[in-house]
């Protein structure tokens, strides 16, 4: 065992963390899943910025975009094809050729 492995084993021992080992891992059913209960994360990874205010501004723009996109999408689904999608719409423009606002 290398020094690094020994250090990791000592750290696990002090933290009370056990390692299954190869035999116990192989005995597990292939259909097994972790138990439910792990907390879900509250962060939304769409926007990342070190500056809190820039992130808040970007999130505000995202909310506006999503509202405008949803309105245009619902209009499109109801048969109104002259509705303009907001700038930044990609898939609907590429796949269905919907009109989009310019930047």
Q: Token pair 């723009």 is at which residue?
A: 61
Tell whether pTM > 0.75. no
pLDDT digits (tens, 9 = 90+) for 62-87: 999 999 999 999 999 999 888 899 99
Per-residue burial over 4-37, b if 16 or more Cβ lie within 10 Å, else e, is eeeeeeeeeeeeeeeeeeeeeeeeeeeeeeeeee
Do the Cβ atoms of 53 and 47 come closer than 8 Å?
no
Say if CB 101 and CB 84 are below 8 A apart.
yes
Average pLDDT over residues 34-50: 76
């Amino acid at each position: 065992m290398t020094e690094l492995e020994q250090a990791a084993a000592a750290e696990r021992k002090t933290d009370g963390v056990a390692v299954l080992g190869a035999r116990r891992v192989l005995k597990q059913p292939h259909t097994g899943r972790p138990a439910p209960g792990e907390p879900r994360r509250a962060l939304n990874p769409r926007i990342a910025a070190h500056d809190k205010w820039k992130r808040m501004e970007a999130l505000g723009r995202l909310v506006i975009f999503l509202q405008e996109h949803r309105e245009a999408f619902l209009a499109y689904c109801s048969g109104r094809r002259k509705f303009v999608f907001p700038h930044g719409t990609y898939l609907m423009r590429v796949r269905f050729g919907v009109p989009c606002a310019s930047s």
